[in-house]
Structure 1
Amino acid sequence: MKFEIGREARALLLKTARESIRSYQQGAAYEPEEIPKELNFESGCFVSLNIRGRLRGCIGNFRSDLNIVKNVSEMACKAAFADPRFGPLSVDELCICNIEISILSPMVKASAEEITVGRDGIYILKGLSRGVLLPQVAVENGWDRETFLNQTCVKAGLPEDAWKEADTEILSFEALVFNENNLI
């Protein structure tokens, strides 16, 4: 990743995510305090919610036209209330969930051989099918490159080996990943 943000900026983004969800539950909108210069940039992001080590919601985008603080706020609410795999996050669940933020680099076209597990996320496109997996997913599951590519295809609703076909586009990106248990 070509950029880094400090501990205080990370803490502010995590607070923004949590308070955005809490405010949404109360029928209000959250407006963060003064945004430091360090967070004055546009970037895509994903916000993941985990309860006891299990995914409870994850939504993100690759937008490069929205301030990172605003994007984190919106993606946190979508992860909590609009992930079709889960029902809306309850107040009790918010109290015990761990929030993880992935700030994304721009995507670049890549070959399968250029993908590095632990560094790269993958975005697969073929026809109308699309699938994305964040860099940490391969590490968390102990996948090698081929398994990571296969699983990204599955996520896109494609056959596992669709990444080998000439009309399948592979894009890669990096992510700065941090959560409430690990601000380092």
Structure 2
Amino acid sequence: MSLDMEVISFISEEEGKFLLKLARKSIEYYLTYRSILPIDERDIPFDNLKRKGASFVTIETKYGNLRGCIGSIIPYRPLYEDVVHNAVSAAVSDPRFPPLTLEELPNVKIKVSVLTYPKPLIYKDWKDLLEKLKPFEDGVIIKYKNHSATFLPDVWEEIPEKELFLSHLCLKAGLPPDFWKTGLLEVYTYKTIRFSE
């Protein structure tokens, strides 16, 4: 298996710091030149970051309020590339917020979460689903027909109750809040390795 076909499974502290700098540089470059930061694979000092990886980039105000968050669930491009594109999207393409400005950039905090590959969560009924979920550990993806949504593990900090967590996730997917009780949802879980400025 060649390097570019391998999926990332571990990120060191040093690699995480590099990704945070890369995310900030990508946003600054885009806000200045309105184009994606041109980056050569040879400029990436860690081979690990050239493996396929999925990431979420989160932007917060200095008061800890969300200012943008965009990511990939399934790894399909080198991790460093994924972070570059998701950083720019979180800054200017999150439909919940106006685009970030260059003036705001020094006052925001950037977080990068690297995701493990999602695994199906097999459950018998809604009680079993609640039983199997691990708050503060699991990122959760739900799917039903053409509806889908995910919450990163960080969301447990805001919504620690499992029932509420699933209800909010259903609403995010455009489903009724108690749809998780129907047994019709496909559920997948993943873990994240988080880095923060």
Alignment match, 1:37: 47
Among 149, 153, 162, the alignment partner of 1:145 is 162
| Aligned counterpart in structure 1 of residue 186 of structure 2, from 166, 169, 180 | 169
Structure 2 stretches lacking a partner, 5+ long: 1-7, 124-128
Q: 1:53 aligns with which of 59, 64, 71?
A: 64
Q: Which runs of 4+ in 1 moved over 3 A?
A: none
Give deviations 1:39-77, integer Å, cap 9, x for gaps: 232111110000020000000112322111000000000
Aligned-pair CA distance for 1:29: 3.4
Alpha-carbon distance, 1:38 to partner: 3.0
Tell me the residue number matched to 2:141. 123
**Residues 1-150 of structure 1 mapped to structure 2, 5 A cutoff:** 3-27=9-33, 28-30=35-37, 31=39, 33-51=43-61, 52-110=63-121, 111=123, 112=129, 113-138=131-156, 140-150=157-167
Q: Residues of 2 paired with 1:17 and 1:159: CA distance?
A: 35
Identify unmatched segments of 5+ residues in structure 1. Answer: none
Amino acid across the alignment from 2:175? L
| Superposition CA RMSD, Å | 1.6
Task: Report if aligned partners of 1:43, 1:62 keep a CA contact under 8 Å in 2.
Answer: no
Measured in 2, the distance between the counterparts of 1:142 and 1:127 equals 26
Larger Rg: 2
Q: CA shift at 1:81, angstroms? A: 0.6
Identity of aligned residues (%): 33
- Number of corresponding residues: 178
Q: Which amino acid aligns with 1:48?
A: T
Counterpart of 2:126 in structure 1 is: none
